[in-house]
Amino acid sequence: MEPTRQQGRVLILAGSDSGGGAGIQADIKAVSALGGFAMTAITALTAQNTQGVFGIEAVPVPFIRQQIQVVLDDLGADALKTGMLHAVPVIEAVCEEIAQRAPGVPLVADPVMVAQSGAALLQPDAVEALTRNLVPLASLLTPNAPEAERLCGLPVADVAGQQRAAEALLRLGARAVLVKGGHLGGAEVSDVLATSDGIEVLSSPRLETKHTHGTGCTLASAIACGLAQGLALRHAVVRARAYLWQALATAPGFGHGQGPVNHVHTVRPFDA
């Protein structure tokens, strides 16, 4: 079979999830399922499954830089997506490489702080570095409610709190912010999208499922894929939310804890 040219090159800078539900693995699946081409610079290795994170091994900072450099020098990128940047030196190195090698390339920054299981994925002293270095580079910042609280210092318990946090994060330098509401209660999940043009609340029915591992990574990568393919920001967000909703609705039910979503529901089975 002749290879097909995939539309939209996305360089993902994030940690690896050995369970396959979150991190780099989820990112690659989401971008591929939406027709994009995924490339990676792995920032950390984790030993995890649906029940928790059992170990983290740091990738040496010079090697993180080298991954970014060789990919951008050869393949280029139409969009970038960051995930787990667990320590100050990693945050600073990644942001330096982005600023030097990919200025003007849209960046979806997912400020990963805590795993779905509750395990910390960001060192306590790194929050300020994340705010100072990464937020101003973001074309779109995608914190969940607890992450938004830590970044801006405001309580986020409802849509009004999401709106206040989004406005505060815009003032910190992000060009757009999506404060996600999956951690909040209610029959609907509301995400607040804030740009210089104003604020919009995007809502969808809440699915009652425990299989939500990697939803933040998946959504951010799906948005980045849309931007890489030339979609306007709002269109990329709306498409990504619809993709994630269906991935949650058709989750395979793997594992004994919070299982993965069905990233490949868009892919037609291949009959040999």
For tokens 């505060």, the residue is 168
Which residues does 33 contact at the CB level (< 8 Å), separation at least 6? Answer: 243, 263, 264, 265, 266, 267
H helices present in 153-257, as ranges: 159-171, 215-228, 233-249
In order, the DSSP letters of 132-144 are: IIIGGG-SEE--B
- Residue pair 230/210 in contact by the 8 Å Cβ criterion: no
Active-site amino acid positions: 180, 212, 214-217
CA dihedral sign of residues 183, 253, 247, 75: positive
Torsion angles phi and psi, residue 141, rounded to 5:
-105, 135
β-pairing, 9-17 vs 79-82, is parallel
CA distance 57 to 47: 8
pLDDT for the residue 186:
84
Task: From first to last of the 272 residues of the chain, give the pLDDT tens digit.
Answer: 333 445 899 999 999 999 999 999 999 999 999 999 999 999 999 999 999 889 999 999 999 999 999 999 999 999 999 999 989 999 999 999 999 999 999 999 999 886 665 666 777 788 889 999 999 999 999 999 989 998 999 999 999 999 999 999 999 999 999 999 988 878 899 999 999 999 999 999 999 889 999 999 999 999 999 999 999 999 999 999 999 999 999 999 999 999 999 999 998 777 65
Q: What is the DSSP letter of 56?
A: E
User: For residues 144 and 166, what is the distance between their CA atoms, to the nearest angstrom?
Assistant: 11
The 10 Å Cβ neighbour count of residue 233 is 20
Could you say which DSSP state residue 15 is in?
Answer: E
Q: Identify whether the C-beta of residue 245 lies closer than 8 Å to the C-beta of residue 207.
A: yes
- pLDDT recorded at residue 7: 87
Global pTM exceeds 0.85: yes
Element (H, E) at 63: helix 61-74
8-state DSSP, 21: S
pLDDT of 3 reads 39
For CA atoms 170, 229, 72, 102, the dihedral sign is negative
Q: Which domains does the chain have, with CATH numbers?
A: 11-249 (3.40.1190.20)
Rounded to whole angstroms, how far apart are CA atoms 208 and 261? 13
